[in-house]
Every structure is written in structure tokens, then in C-alpha cells.
């Protein structure tokens, strides 16, 4: 069992704040300050360049990768961290395209996070070889998997609605059709149980600044199926993935048979220090227990909002097993209403055109937070506080 009162005590949340936005940026673990101070004083300051050996900086891509990998069901030695999620999208899709060079269709869906689609568009322009990106409705993805498709690139949990794809169904159909599958787990890792190993996932990518609490701009991760590690083409061929990085050869040779071949360039060790502190909390967490608690709190939130907040309409799936760990409601004046909520110290977020999104993260959210958030939302709607002029102005980041 996971002690959620214990995990909550390990986060440094402002007094009085109800934070329902861990699906966008996780809050700071209390140990983050000590971890960064230790990195500055006991590693960088004292070790300088020696730290690559004495503090094992060089292999933290892998050691941290395995700790993230546990949360997505990845076997040891198949996950590394580094770079950004956008770069990992590019890297994984490019590797998938190289595996089926005769197929020119990349299939995604119109609920995918836009940057994933942007990266594929850029990759297709770079290839300049007649590729096509298809983006049907999420519900039509399975029907869209045909023998024309080379790569299926899907985000398991829809960033806007929280709808979950059936990973097994997509993988089984794609593999039967001869296609490669790339899963974006940005809204899955640390939110719902995932079993990339058991499902024979080809590639999985994700970020660590949302549910995993690694901090703003925390590194991304990439998982590659063990059966592909000998042959997968890195495409972005940086020195950190070379077979012999310190031989300084002028020709690139990827690390044979190991996940290191998917490393690219020198990572941020300072970011790794923060991520490691966050993963210390996750090392205490059972994902099945977390999911059960998430469902319990999400169901409570939905019931309370629907009973007390007229005008809001649930757009997340009602079936908890087909929903991630955030709940979304549509409201005509969603942006202004969310700004009023934030001003009242309930932090959710807004997604165009009218979506109010609430992350349900049991590591630091409990029943009292859920009820308190709905109390404040009910008052804002009843008194029409969202109509105030100060809540109408759009900020740079919404």
C-alpha cells in the first residue's frame, strides 16, 4: 500500500492553496532545495570535471531512466532520460519511419498534443519523400490503422479531455498491419498504470515535469523495446550515444545493443538532481494504489461539480477506466472562471476553446481539497464573480 499522507508531507505547497494542476506542472518536493544545494556545494563546486566519474554524472541518463521506467512497466536498461519531449517525439518517430521505409503514412489523431504533430510535420519536410500525416478523431484511430501506415504516433491520455486510448488494441492492430507504434506518455507516467514491457511497445516517450514533479523544463524520457536495441536507428546522432564517446572518432557508430544509442547530447545534471529528489517520492508509490485513489477522488469531484455547478459540462469520459488522472469540464466562460478560481487559490488550468482542466494527483491531493475546490467554484458561479473585468484579460500563458 502507498501512504498518501506521507507522500503529501513531502511536497512544499503554499499554505491554503488547492493545487489541481499537477498534470501540467508538478509541485516542488521539499527535498528539492537540499538536492540542488548538495549538487552545487558537494558536486559541481568541489568535484568540477571530476564529477562525471566521481558522482557518476555520465550514467545518470540510465540510472534515472530505470527509475522512470519502473513507473511505466519498462524492463531495466530500456529507458533513458534527457533532452526535451519534443526532441524525443522527433527521435522516436524518425526511428520508426526508418524501420518501415516503404510506408509513407504517419497516423495520429486530432486530440494529440499539437507539438507532437508539429514535430512530425517538420520531420516530413526534412525527409521530403512524400510522407502524409493523418489525424482522424481519436475514436477512429483503430479504423485508420491500415497497411499503408508506417508509424502510429499516439498520446495515450488526451491532454484536453483525459480520454485514454486502448494501448493493447492499438499495438495489436498496428503490429498485425506491420506498423510501428510510438506512445507519448506525458499524461500517463505517474498518472495511470502502464505496462510498456508487457504490451510489447515499440517506443514510448514522455516528460518528467508533470506528474513526476521534476520541475519546470525537467528532462524527457524515451523507452525502446529490447528487441529493437540492436538495430534501431538513432537518427539524431550525438556524441552521448556513440559506441565510444571518448574515442572522438569522426564517424558516428551508435552504441550497439544498448539504450545508450538513444542518448544525444550532454544532459543537464542540475535538472537530474531535481528529478532524482522527485523520484525518491515515487520510489514509495505503487501505481495500482495510486490509480485507485485517483479514481476515487475524480469520481467525487465529478459528482460534486455536476450537483453544485450548473453550466459546466463534463467532457472527460465518465468511465474511469477510459480516463486519465485529470478531469475536464466545458464552460462558455471557462477562461474567466478559471482565472477567478486561481485568484481564490484553487489552481487548475484552461485549454482552448472552453475547457477547464483539473489534475487529480493523490500524492498531494485529498478529499478535503476536492470538496474545498468545489465550494469555491460553486461560489464563483453563483455570485458570477468570473464576470469581473480583471478575469477577462488573457495572460501570455493560459
Catalytically active residues are: 113, 184, 209-210, 357
Q: Which residues contact 49 (CB under 8 A, 6 or more apart)?
A: none
How big is the chain by its Cα radius of gyration, in Å?
22
What 3-state DSSP class applies to 181?
Answer: strand
**CA 172 to CA 177: how far, in whole Å?**
9
**CA 251 to CA 247: how far, in whole Å?**
10
CA atoms in the 13 A half-sphere facing the CB of 182: 30
Strand partners for 105: 132, 149
**CA 221 to CA 79: how far, in whole Å?**
7
Helix (H) or strand (E) holding 151: strand 149-155
DSSP states of 315-378 as a string? -S-SSGGGB-SEEEEE-TTHHHHHHHHHHTTEE-EEETTTEEEEE--TTT--HHHHHHHHHHHH
**Other C-beta atoms lying within 10 Å of the C-beta of residue 213:** 28
Q: Are 206 and 188 in contact (CB under 8 A)?
A: yes
Amino acid at each position: 500500500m502507498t501512504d498518501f499522507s506521507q507522500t503529501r508531507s513531502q511536497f512544499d505547497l503554499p499554505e491554503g492553496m488547492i493545487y489541481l494542476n499537477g498534470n501540467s506542472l508538478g509541485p516542488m518536493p521539499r527535498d528539492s532545495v537540499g538536492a540542488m544545494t548538495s549538487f552545487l556545494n558537494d558536486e559541481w563546486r568541489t568535484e568540477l570535471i571530476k564529477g562525471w566519474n566521481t558522482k557518476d554524472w555520465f550514467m545518470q541518463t540510465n540510472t534515472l531512466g530505470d527509475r522512470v521506467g519502473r513507473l511505466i512497466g519498462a524492463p531495466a536498461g530500456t529507458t533513458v532520460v534527457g533532452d526535451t519531449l519534443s526532441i524525443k517525439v522527433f527521435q522516436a518517430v524518425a526511428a520508426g519511419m526508418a524501420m518501415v521505409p516503404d510506408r509513407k503514412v504517419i497516423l495520429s489523431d486530432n486530440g494529440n498534443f499539437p507539438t507532437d504533430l508539429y514535430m512530425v510535420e517538420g520531420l516530413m519536410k526534412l525527409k521530403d519523400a512524400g510522407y502524409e500525416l493523418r489525424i482522424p478523431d481519436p475514436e477512429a484511430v483503430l479504423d485508420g490503422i491500415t497497411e499503408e501506415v508506417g508509424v502510429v504516433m499516439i498520446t495515450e491520455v488526451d491532454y484536453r479531455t483525459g480520454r485514454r486510448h486502448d494501448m493493447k488494441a492499438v499495438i495489436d492492430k498496428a503490429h498485425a498491419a506491420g506498423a510501428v507504434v510510438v506512445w507519448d506518455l506525458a499524461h500517463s507516467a505517474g498518472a495511470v498504470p502502464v505496462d510498456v514491457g508487457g504490451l510489447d511497445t515499440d517506443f514510448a516517450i514522455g516528460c518528467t515535469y508533470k506528474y513526476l514533479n521534476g520541475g519546470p523544463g525537467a528532462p524527457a524520457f524515451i523507452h525502446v523495446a529490447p528487441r529493437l536495441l540492436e538495430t534501431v536507428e538513432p537518427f539524431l546522432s550525438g556524441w552521448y550515444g556513440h559506441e565510444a564517446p571518448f574515442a572522438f572518432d569522426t564517424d558516428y557508430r551508435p552504441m550497439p545493443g544498448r539504450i545508450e544509442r538513444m542518448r544525444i547530447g550532454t544532459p543537464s545534471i542540475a535538472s537530474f538532481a531535481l528529478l532524482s529528489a522527485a523520484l525518491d517520492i515515487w520510489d514509495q508509490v505503487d501505481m495500482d494504489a495510486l490509480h485507485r485513489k485517483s479514481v476515487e477522488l475524480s469520481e467525487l469531484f465529478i459528482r460534486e461539480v455536476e450537483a453544485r455547478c450548473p453550466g459546466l459540462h463534463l467532457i472527460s469520459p465518465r468511465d474511469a477506466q477510459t480516463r486519465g488522472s485529470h478531469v475536464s469540464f466545458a464552460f462558455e466562460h471557462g477562461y474567466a472562471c478559471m482565472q477567478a478560481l486561481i485568484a481564490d487559490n484553487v489552481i487548475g488550468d484552461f485549454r482552448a476553446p472552453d475547457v477547464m482542466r483539473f489534475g487529480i494527483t493523490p500524492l498531494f491531493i485529498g478529499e478535503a481539497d476536492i470538496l474545498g475546490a468545489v465550494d469555491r467554484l460553486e461560489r464563483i458561479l453563483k455570485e458570477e464573480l468570473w464576470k469581473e473585468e480583471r478575469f477577462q484579460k488573457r495572460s501570455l500563458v493560459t
